[in-house]
Amino acid sequence: SVSPGPADVHFVWEKNGREVETCVPTQTHALLDGRTHVLSWLRDAIGESAEYRCSVLSSVGNKTSRVRVTVLRHEVTHQEQWTRELAAWRAVAGEHDRMMRSWSEAW
C-alpha cells in the first residue's frame, strides 16, 4: 500500500483480525509540500486461506483496504499416488538395470 499524507501517517496490517507486527517493512519519504509519502508491504508465507487488512492512520483520517486470499489445496488421489510410486520404482529399476549391464560388460 502507498499513501501520501501528513507526517504522522502510519500503517497497521492485520491477518485474520490480528495485528501483524513482524515482517512489515515501511519506507517513508518527506515531500517538499510537507506531506509524507509512505510505502508499506507485508511479507507473509501463505499456507492457508486468510483475510488481510491494511489500515492507513493519520491525524487527517483513516482508510482501510481488505483482501481475502484463498488457498486451494490439491488433494492427491489414490491413482496419482500410485502413479508417482510406480514412476519412482521404474526409475530405480532402470538404474539397477543400467548398473548390472555395466558390470556385465566389465566382467
Shared domain check, 65 and 95: no
Has this prediction a pTM greater than 0.85?
A: no
The reply to whether 79 and 61 lie within a common domain is no
Task: Give the C-alpha separation, 26 to 41, whole Å.
Answer: 7
CA–CA separation, 62 and 5 (whole Å):
11
Specify the 3-state DSSP secondary structure of 93: helix
Number of domains in the chain: 2
82 lies in which domain range? Answer: 75-107
pLDDT in tens, the chain (107 residues): 555 566 788 889 999 999 988 777 888 888 888 777 888 888 887 778 999 999 988 888 899 999 999 888 766 666 777 777 788 777 777 777 777 777 777 66
- CA terminus-to-terminus distance, the chain: 70
Q: Do 59 and 84 lie in a common domain?
A: no
**Could you give phi then psi for residue 72, rounded to 5 degrees?**
-95, 125
pLDDT at position 12 is 92
59 and 14 fall within a common domain: yes
C-alpha distance from residue 20 to each of 16, 29, 72 (Å): 10, 23, 23
7 and 55 share one domain: yes
Based on the domain organization, do 40 and 63 belong to the same domain? yes
Q: Are 23 and 58 part of one and the same domain?
A: yes
DSSP letters, 50-85, are EEEEEEEEETTEEEEEEEEE-PPP-PPPHHHHHHHH
Q: Name residue, grid cell 492507513.
A: 56
